[in-house]
A and B are shown apart, each in its own frame.
Chain A
Amino acid sequence: ETGVTQTPRHLVMGMTNKKSLKCEQHLGHNAMYWYKQSAKKPLELMFVYSLEERVENNSVPSRFSPECPNSSHLFLHLHTLQPEDSALYLCASSQDLSETQYFGPGTRLLVL
């Protein structure tokens, strides 16, 4: 399998649930990213990891918790989300920071 994969592709959760989104890249890249894409809003960068260390956190609420155990895997742990958190969550990777980013297919999240 090549490229960037994300699981699950679709997720419905209640506001009291805890769930995790998974991203895996098979490109040998050093940087990974989480983005949020909501209807009628620009793509929002959430977290950036380089060589497994977080380098960017754009004032994201603490109910979103990223984890990067190694350079190939990135998780986004979700707990006590709000309905306005419903969106498409995209993962991306790049060889290094500011290089071309390659995106996964996204996880479509619905919070009820």
Chain B
Amino acid sequence: AQSVTQLGSHVSVSEGALVLLRCNYSSSVPPYLFWYVQYPNQGLQLLLKYTSAATLVKGINGFEAEFKKSETSFHLTKPSAHMSDAAEYFCAVSDLGDDKIIFGKGTRLHILP
């Protein structure tokens, strides 16, 4: 069965610092992996998606994530945090042919001035 673990329910970084949000997955077959962002009072918005093409995936707003099969990880990074990045971030996994996406519990990112 698929599962997703996001380490840290809250992460704080200073404006301009590196953002690193961790996600580990388990899947019996090569997975599809997603990162979504949720701003206050809004629905989830897709940041980026891995579908077995390039292992380094670039998304919107300067975010990227690297698929590492050996570590079963799909961590999200951004070189320089901006105040507008403050939001909740969700990692998700699905298997081709499955009927649902499994979401992690989310990580709330706080940006310190």
Instruction: Indicate whether A and B interact.
Output: yes
Tell yes or no: B49 within 8 A of A by CB: yes
Residues of A within 8 Å of B104, CB to CB, are: 42
- Contacts A42-B103, A42-B104 given; does A106 touch B97 at CB 8 Å: no
Q: Say which residue of B43, B96, B99, B106 sits within 8 Å of A4 (CB atoms).
A: B43
The total of chain B residues at the interface (CB under 8 A) is 23
Against A, the Cβ 8 Å flags (1 = close, 0 = not) of B88-108 are: 001000111111110111100
Q: Does A87 contact B (CB under 8 A)?
A: no
Chain B residues lying within 8 Å of A92, measured Cβ to Cβ, are 43-44
Taking CB atoms, residues of chain B closer than 8 Å to A55 are 99
Q: How many A-B residue pairs have CB under 8 A?
A: 52
Residues A105 and B101 in contact, CB atoms below 8 Å apart: no
B46 contacts A102, CB within 8 Å? Answer: yes
B contact residues around A98 at 8 Å (CB): 32, 94-101
Q: Is the CB of A56 within 8 A of B99?
A: yes
> CB-CB contacts of A70-111 with B at 8 A, as 1s and 0s?
000000000000000000001010000110111111101000
Interface residues on A, range: 20 to 34
A43 B103 Cβ-Cβ under 8 A: yes
Min distance, Cβ A16 to any Cβ of chain B, angstroms: 28
Do B34 and A103 touch (CB < 8 A)?
no
Which B residues are CB-close (under 8 A) to A103? 36, 43-45
- Could you write out 18 A-B pairs with CB less than 8 Å apart? A4-B43, A42-B104, A42-B105, A43-B90, A48-B99, A50-B99, A56-B100, A90-B44, A92-B44, A97-B98, A98-B32, A98-B94, A98-B95, A98-B101, A100-B34, A105-B41, A106-B41, A108-B41
In the complex, what residues of B have CB within 8 A of residue A4's CB?
43
In the complex, whether A13 has a CB less than 8 A from a CB of chain B is no
CB-contact partner of A105 in B34, B43, B46, B106, under 8 A: B43
Considering the complex, give the chain B residue whose CB is closest to the CB of A41.
B105
Q: Please, which residue of chain A has its CB at the minimum distance from the CB of B97?
A: A98
A31 to chain B, nearest CB (A): 8
Residues from 7 to 55 in B contacting A, C-beta threshold 8 Å: 32, 34, 36, 41-46, 49
